[in-house]
Amino acid sequence: MTANLSETLTLLLIEDDDGDALLVEELLKQAEAPPRIFRARSLREAEAQFSAKIQCVVVDLSLPDASGLETLEKVLALAPHTAVLVLTGLRDVHVAVSAVQAGAQDYLVKGDIDARLLARAIRYAIERKRADQAQLRLVQAELTAKENSRLESALLPGPLLRTDSIEHVTRYLPGSGGTLAGDFYDTVQTPDGAVHIVIGDVCGHGPDEAALGVALRIAWRALVLAGQTDDRLLRTLDSLLRAERQAPEIFTTLCMATLSPDLCHARMHVVGHPPPVLVRAGTVEVVDGAPSGPPLGIFADAEWRVIDVPLGEEWSLMLYTDGLIEAAVGGSDELLGVDGLLDLVREHGTIDLDRLITGAGTLSDDLAVVLVRRRT
């Protein structure tokens, strides 16, 4: 019966004995799809031949420049993502167990092999390595998911609200990379009855940006509860950003809104951020007068003006990050944009976040949205 390798493989045989190497090559020639074999007589020679195309390393534990498990450890260090099969003359159960525990996929004794056994052992070694790598990726994905969950709980907290007079809805979706970045939001009602809302976006992607977003979000909440507002609050956040950021080019855009206790008026700061969408008296518009000034972290002497917005008795206000308006429309390169967002809201007749996000297109960036609506 011929050996059956399911695919044409590329192997690296590390064997200093020419007779043993010839035996391995002759046995593998009997395979249904004989593998391509590279030969090295020492670890030094092997190091020069390692490449991504090598799918399996067959190594003897007795080489001129290494011996025993030291040989295996060096091979594993040189080829951590490649299947390794130990083929040696050492008939020692303890060594065999130690080799597998150290990372080899299998251990064979030269005097016990035939063509069928060797071909099958190589094929199984490759499959076991693939399974090990898949399991490792799964574990890493689970760890990333847990880390993202912890970051999300800090980036995206529950609102501190006492009033039942407004509806408060939020959404957060990661971009195409699937990981959290620097988008953050928060809502706090202070003892005077005013409702304070913030949404922000730290430029860039990754854990550093996410951590900075957490720091800014927590600082904003603490400062609001301590009574800081307007320019004083923004300057404190700007100083914090400059102290905590990893590089001087990192900046943050944000939008803050303070709803008066009677919920009929808002004071806003649109700090280099997309303008909020306001629905009132049957009209759909962006908040007039935006922006208030540049993003945080750009100019040391920046000033931000207040935008006064009459709300009336019935209204909806949506704050969002640029991931919403940078969604690709209909699978094309065209972006939704602010005008497209307004058209969607008008088409729906109201701000329905799930419907709006679905209709916006394909997200390429993180998306955070806060919707507040006065209940009538």
In our burial notation (b when 16+ CB lie closer than 10 A, e otherwise), range 37-69 reads: bbbbbebebbeeebeeebbbbbbbbebeebebb
- Report the C-alpha gap between 244 and 241 in whole angstroms: 5
Give just the sign of the alpha carbon dihedral 116, 117, 122, 123.
positive
Tell me if 15 sits within 8 A of 61, measured CB to CB: no
In this structure, which long-range contacts are made by residues 90-96, counting pairs with CB atoms below 8 Å and at least 24 apart in sequence? 90/61, 90/62, 95/61, 95/68, 95/69
Domain boundaries, the chain: 10-136, 156-374
Tokens 């693939």 sit on residue: 130
Count of CB atoms situated within 10 Å of the CB of 140: 10
In the predicted structure, residue 153 carries a pLDDT above the cut 90: no
As assigned by CATH, the class of the 10-136 domain is alpha beta
Return the DSSP state at 172: E
Residues 6+ apart with CB under 8 A from 367: 171, 172, 173, 175, 183, 320, 321, 323, 324, 327, 357
What's the pLDDT at 244?
Answer: 93
Average pLDDT, the chain: 87
Tell me if 24 sits within 8 A of 58, measured CB to CB: yes
What's the pLDDT at 33?
Answer: 81
Better-predicted residue by pLDDT, 152 or 75? 75
Strand, coil or helix: 192: coil
How would you class 199 by CB atoms within 10 Å of its CB: exposed for 0-12, middle for 13-18, buried for 19 or more? buried
Confidence of residue 4 (pLDDT cuts 50, 70, 90): very low
| Neighbouring-strand partners of residue 307 | 268
What's the pLDDT at 339?
Answer: 92
What's the pLDDT at 2?
Answer: 40
Tell me if 368 sits within 8 A of 320, measured CB to CB: yes
Give just the sign of the alpha carbon dihedral 270, 273, 274, 279.
negative
- Report the C-alpha gap between 338 and 277 in whole angstroms: 9
What's the pLDDT at 215?
Answer: 93
Which of 39-43, 52-56, 133-137, 178-182 has the weakest average pLDDT? 178-182
User: How many residues are present in the chain?
Assistant: 376
pLDDT in tens, 197-247: 999 999 987 778 888 998 999 999 999 999 999 899 999 999 999 999 989
Strand, coil or helix: 299: coil
pLDDT in tens, 9-22: 889 999 998 998 89
- Strand ranges, E, within 15-61: 36-40, 56-59
For 218-278, the three-class secondary structure string (H helix, E strand, C coil) is: HHHHHHHHCCCCHHHHHHHHHHHHHHHCCCCCCCEEEEEEEECCCCCEEEEEEECCCCCEE
- Report the C-alpha gap between 130 and 127 in whole angstroms: 5
Mean pLDDT of 331-356: 88
Tokens 């976040």 sit on residue: 353
Report angle CA 351, 352, 357 to the nearest 5 degrees.
105
- Report the C-alpha gap between 288 and 279 in whole angstroms: 12
Q: Do domains 10-136 and 156-374 have the same CATH topology?
A: no
What's the pLDDT at 371?
Answer: 97
Q: Give the tokens for residue 115.
A: 């063509």
What's the pLDDT at 152?
Answer: 64
What's the pLDDT at 1?
Answer: 36
What's the pLDDT at 171?
Answer: 92
pTM of the model: 0.65
The topology under which CATH files domain 156-374 is Phosphatase 2c; domain 1 (3.60.40)
- State which amino acid sits at residue 4: N
- Report the C-alpha gap between 135 and 27 in whole angstroms: 32
